[in-house]
Chains A and B, each alone.
Chain A
Amino acid sequence: MPSLKDLKNRISSVKSTRKITKAMQMVAAAKLRRAQDAAEAARPYAERFNAVMGQLAASVGGSDTAPLLLKGTGKDDVHLLVVMTSERGLCGGFNANIAKLARQHARDLTQKGKTVKIITVGKKGREAMKRDLGELFIGHVDLSDVKRIGYGTATDIAKDVLGKFDAGEFDVATIFYSKFVNVVTQTPTALQVIPAKFDAPEETGAASALYEYEPSEEEVLADLLPRGVATQIFAALLENAASEQGARMSAMDNATRNAGEMIDKLTIEYNRSRQAVITNELIEIISGAEAL
């Protein structure tokens, strides 16, 4: 049975924990809004881009001269997994879920006899996968100094990936990130970026065929494909940032609520034992008086 003093200390420590988690929740909420705005602002670009790429890919994709980024190397022996996670913890199952999906993917590929290489973005995913997949790591991108994710961050990662592709280090690249559905739901997602996959354009048929291309269809496509990789990575980074804050917000909300429940329980216990002590003292006095 803990003493009254112990209980009191316990209550005050849980109270300060609650203050911290509450503050973190509010910070996450503010950051989430900013992250969502950023993701929202990036959407028109990505949408237009994918629409044009879809058209181009559909018209050039079949030919033999199509760029390698679009039609692939013709093999799928070596897979590159780019796993995007956060730099900080305390965000519920966010990092664990992405790592789990990537791990599953890596295991499936290895079982099929493929070679797997992994680039990690963000410290937490690296830590989570180091133990069982550590020997597959070929690179790491540190985002801890990046205050605001800009397009530049994405182009740097894309450049790295494209350089490795040009050097023939892999055949297929897949990025792993968390898609932001809402504050309580984030879905870990795998997206193949090389060879590029674009949704076929809706059948506007004749209208899309009328475009003229300058300098030429192939050259435009060759110019755009690397940008496409960067665009997809950028979108993934933004989604991930929003998801991270969303996950942290709901994790901290839970923590705050749990702390509240714990304080209530401890307070009841504290009051009960205080009353027990008083009752005990009274009994002692009364029985002492009676004995006289």
Chain B
Amino acid sequence: MANTTQFDLVSPERKLVSGPVTAVEIPAAAGDLTAMQGHSPLITTLRPGVLKVSGPDGEQEYVVTGGFAEISGDSISVLAETALPKGEVTQGHIDDWVAQAHAAKQDAPEHLTEAATKLLADMVALGTHIGLDPNQPSI
């Protein structure tokens, strides 16, 4: 099929997607980006967010919580710390992630507080975005 490129979404525990896609919307650290065939080679870290995959079988959404993406001329790979199909994410997951981000912020040494705060904010934004209660009124 024309204008497709090989896409892999893998987490440490399993491979979620592997196949041709037309576009992937990636929540990169410095802002969302959409990768299509012929995108210039790029390696970027991810922030917690929603990854949108548009392929021949329609559009799928996955929630990722960090990791990195490698875009090369003929393939796109996303290596996510945790990745779940959007429908499988429950309130429990969000609570866990936000709690973890909270704990990380609490323990973070001084030079990392900014990053930890951002991570927490991203987590909360992610929760709101997919319509679940981030449950953290305190930030």
Residues of A within 8 A of B (CB): 38, 41-42, 44-46, 48-49, 52, 56, 150-151, 154, 166, 207, 210-215, 219-220, 223-224, 227, 230-231, 234
Contact = CB atoms under 8 A, between A and B. Distances in A.
Contact of A220 (B12, B68, B77): B68
B83 to A, nearest CB: 10
B10 A214 contact: no
Contacts of A166: 109
A151 B67 CA distance: 13
Contact of B70 (A52, A150, A154, A234): A52
Nearest 9 pairs of A and B residues by beta carbon: A214-B44, A151-B12, A41-B14, A45-B10, A211-B41, A212-B42, A223-B45, A45-B12, A44-B10
A14 B82 CA distance: 49
Task: Classify chain B's interface size.
Answer: 20 to 34
Interface of A is mostly: helix
A154 B12 CA distance: 10
Nearest to B42: A212
Given A45-B15, A151-B82, 5 more contacts: A211-B72, A214-B42, A223-B68, A231-B12, A234-B12
Interface centre among A46, A52, A212, A214 (most CB of B within 10 A): A214
Interface of B: 8, 10-15, 28-30, 40-45, 67-68, 70, 72, 77, 79, 81-82, 109
Contacts of B10: 44-45, 48
A212 B41 contact: yes
15 contacts: A42-B13, A42-B14, A44-B8, A44-B15, A45-B12, A48-B79, A207-B41, A210-B41, A212-B40, A214-B29, A214-B45, A215-B45, A220-B68, A223-B29, A227-B81
A228 to B, nearest CB: 11
A230 B67 CA distance: 12
Given A151-B13, A214-B30, A215-B30, A45 B45 contact: no
B40 to A, nearest CB: 6
Nearest to B13: A151
A41 B30 CA distance: 30
A210 to B, nearest CB: 5
B45 A220 contact: yes
A234 to B, nearest CB: 6
A213 B40 CA distance: 11
A13 B30 CA distance: 69
Nearest to B31: A214
Contact of A151 (B11, B29, B40, B77): B11
Contacts of A45: 10-13, 15, 79
A13 B25 CA distance: 65
B13 A214 contact: no
A147 B42 CA distance: 38
Contacts of A150: 13
A44 B77 CA distance: 11
Nearest to B67: A227
A215 B31 CA distance: 10
A220 B44 contact: yes
Contacts of A46: 12
Contacts of A210: 40-41
B96 to A, nearest CB: 10
A49 B43 contact: no
Contacts of B15: 41, 44-45
Given A151-B82, A212-B41, A213-B42, A52 B68 contact: yes
B79 A49 contact: yes
Contacts of A230: 12
A219 B45 CA distance: 9
A214 B12 contact: no
Interface centre among B8, B43, B67 (most CB of A within 10 A): B43
A48 B42 contact: no
Contacts of A207: 41, 72
B105 to A, nearest CB: 14
A38 B43 contact: no
